[in-house]
């Protein structure tokens, strides 16, 4: 744990946050600055800087958290699709240096643009 990392402080409960879904390795919370209604973050409980630092042994827990978070927010927000976005390293737009993935629920014609 990095005592100065906001996601570590949320993970440890020092900063309260509404949990959408959680398992042993990951949890999800609403994004503080959502790009669409329901935009959420999937965050590792342990401090890993980027996706390259996550051990392969946690892969199924990561997929489980992304899947269950996506299902829940799509249902709650009546969305018919979603994007999963991971920014790794500053040059790719990573602002918080604790690995996390954006789950962005989508609706046809919502205007949100993904470069790809």
Which ranges in the chain belong to alpha helices (H)?
A: 6-11, 59-77
Mean pLDDT value across residues 10-28: 97
* pLDDT digit string, tens, across residues 51-69: 999 999 999 999 999 999 9
pLDDT at residue number 7? 97
pLDDT-derived band at 116, boundaries 50, 70, 90: low
Query: Taking residues 42-51, what's their average pLDDT?
Result: 98
3-state secondary structure of 57: helix
Task: Look at residues 4, 45, 53 and name the one whose alpha carbon lies nearest to residue 21.
Answer: 45
Cα(24)–Cα(14) distance, rounded to whole angstroms?
A: 18
What percentage of residues in the chain have a pLDDT greater than 70? Answer: 99
Whole-angstrom Cα distance, residue 76 to residue 41? Answer: 16
The highest-level CATH class for domain 6-106 is alpha beta
What residue ranges do the domains of the chain occupy?
Answer: 6-106
What's residue 113's pLDDT?
86
Reported as a single tens digit per residue, the pLDDT across 73-108 is: 999 999 999 999 999 999 999 999 999 999 999 999
- CB contact at 8 A, 13 and 2: no
CA–CA gap between residue 1 and residue 87 (Å, rounded): 20
Mean pLDDT for the chain? 96
Please answer whether residues 47 and 5 qualify as being in contact, where contact means their C-beta atoms are separated by less than 8 angstroms: yes
CA–CA separation, 51 vs 58, rounded Å?
A: 11
């Amino acid at each position: 744990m990095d005592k100065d990392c906001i996601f570590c402080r949320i993970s440890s409960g020092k900063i309260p946050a509404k949990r959408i879904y959680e398992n042993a390795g990951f949890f999800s919370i609403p994004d503080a600055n959502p790009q669409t209604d329901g935009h959420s973050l999937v965050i590792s409980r342990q401090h890993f800087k980027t996706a390259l630092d996550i051990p392969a042994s946690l892969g199924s827990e990561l997929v489980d958290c992304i899947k269950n978070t996506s299902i829940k927010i799509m249902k709650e927000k009546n969305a018919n699709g979603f994007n999963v976005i991971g920014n790794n390293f500053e040059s790719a737009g990573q602002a918080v240096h604790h690995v996390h993935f954006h789950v962005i629920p989508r609706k046809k014609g919502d205007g949100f643009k993904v470069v790809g």
